[in-house]
């Protein structure tokens, strides 16, 4: 069994073997959730680079990233197992949470969004890399033979989760500092 570091690197490298290991390891759920939280915090830090760092931007960005990932994972489970399953699709929510949790590992680079002038690029690269990792995770967790089906399932869920994160950001009022 791989260490947490090996799993993070393997997930970021889109290593099928790591995703298969995670799918089978019921004990890996806590690790997957730690990766999601760390990636979400990195997302909050990186998003702060778009408009200046503040406690509000950090919290808002982190919460938006967590909710966005959660929505993406649930939507992916529903779409992948109920709406677009293949004949061999067998998965439970735990398998999908573990694999998609580690698919958020590339999101750790979002912390580099604090570097002046790099936030937009870093956030875009991280989002695309996480999408690629999610496709591999879903293909493995849902036992898809077709990568195209995994792409479709992930892309639909990704768009909805991004919309949710953007809406949270738009409708979250900034905190006013008292004088």
For 17-60, the pLDDT digits (tens) are 999 999 999 999 999 989 998 998 898 888 777 776 677 767 77
pLDDT of 122-136, one tens digit each? 999 999 999 899 999
- Radius of gyration for the chain, computed over Cα atoms and rounded to the nearest angstrom: 16
Q: Domain locations in the chain?
A: 4-171
Cα 92–chain centre separation? 18
pLDDT at 14: 97
For residue 178, name the pLDDT band (cuts at 50, 70, 90).
Answer: very low
Q: How far is CA 138 from the centre of its chain?
A: 12
pLDDT tens, position by position, 49-76: 777 667 776 777 677 777 777 778 888 8
Rounded-to-integer distance, Cα 19 and Cα 170, Å? 34
Q: Is the model's pLDDT at 9 over the cut of 60?
A: yes
């Amino acid at each position: 069994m791989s260490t947490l570091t090996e799993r993070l690197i393997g997930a970021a490298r889109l290593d099928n073997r790591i995703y298969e290991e995670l799918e089978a390891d019921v004990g890996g759920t806590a690790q997957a959730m730690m990766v999601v939280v760390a990636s979400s915090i990195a997302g909050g830090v990186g998003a702060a680079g778009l408009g200046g760092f503040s406690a509000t931007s950090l919290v808002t960005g982190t919460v938006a990233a967590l909710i966005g990932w959660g929505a993406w994972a649930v939507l992916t489970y529903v779409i992948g197992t109920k709406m677009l399953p293949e004949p061999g699709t067998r998965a439970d929510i735990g398998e999908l949470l573990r694999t998609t949790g580690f698919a958020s590992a590339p999101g750790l680079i979002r912390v580099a969004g604090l570097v002046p002038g790099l936030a937009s690029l870093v956030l875009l690269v991280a989002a695309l890399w996480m999408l690629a990792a999610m496709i591999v995770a879903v293909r493995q967790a849902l036992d898809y033979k077709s990568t195209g089906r995994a792409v479709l399932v992930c892309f639909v869920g990704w768009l909805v989760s991004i919309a949710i994160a953007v809406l949270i950001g738009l409708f979250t009022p900034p905190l006013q500092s008292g004088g």
